[in-house]
């Protein structure tokens, strides 16, 4: 079950979009590594790259949403008031998901050298 508010679902969609895109590129290049350890390291590097690209994408979307507030019209006076957007995924604000994705990318990058 996914819980999101506002544009928070983009965290999930962008992350898996980058993963599937990079795996598709790897398949299209007909990459094959007979050594299992090297193949696992390449896969970890691929996921690290996907998480970094996801972090950059989520950062840009979150920054855009913070810089362009929503508008609410006061029915009594007709004035327009700016209202900040609330974008959350799994009860975590979208702007903090950038750091989570960078941490996953760093972990996958380090893991690729440990195997």
pLDDT at 39: 82
> Cα–Cα distance between 113 and 38 in angstroms, integer?
10
Number of Cβ atoms within 10 Å of the Cβ of 91 = 9
The model's pLDDT over 49-85, given as tens digits with 9 standing for 90+, comes to 999 999 999 999 999 988 888 888 888 888 888 888 7
Pick 96 or 74 by higher pLDDT.
Answer: 96
Residue 115: pLDDT above 70? Answer: no
pLDDT tens column, 2-25: 787 888 888 999 999 999 999 999
Q: pLDDT at position 55, please?
A: 96
Give the total residue count for the chain.
115
């Amino acid at each position: 079950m996914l819980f999101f508010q506002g544009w928070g679902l983009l965290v999930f969609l962008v992350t898996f979009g980058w993963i599937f895109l990079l795996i598709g590129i790897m398949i299209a290049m007909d990459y094959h590594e007979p050594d299992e350890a090297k193949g696992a390291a390449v896969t970890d590097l691929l996921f690290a790259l996907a998480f970094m690209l996801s972090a950059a994408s989520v950062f840009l979307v979150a920054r855009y949403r913070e810089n362009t507030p929503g508008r609410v019209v006061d029915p009594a006076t007709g004035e327009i008031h700016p209202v900040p957007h609330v974008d959350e995924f799994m009860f975590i604000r979208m702007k903090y998901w950038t750091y989570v994705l960078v941490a996953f990318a760093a972990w996958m990058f380090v893991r690729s050298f440990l195997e």
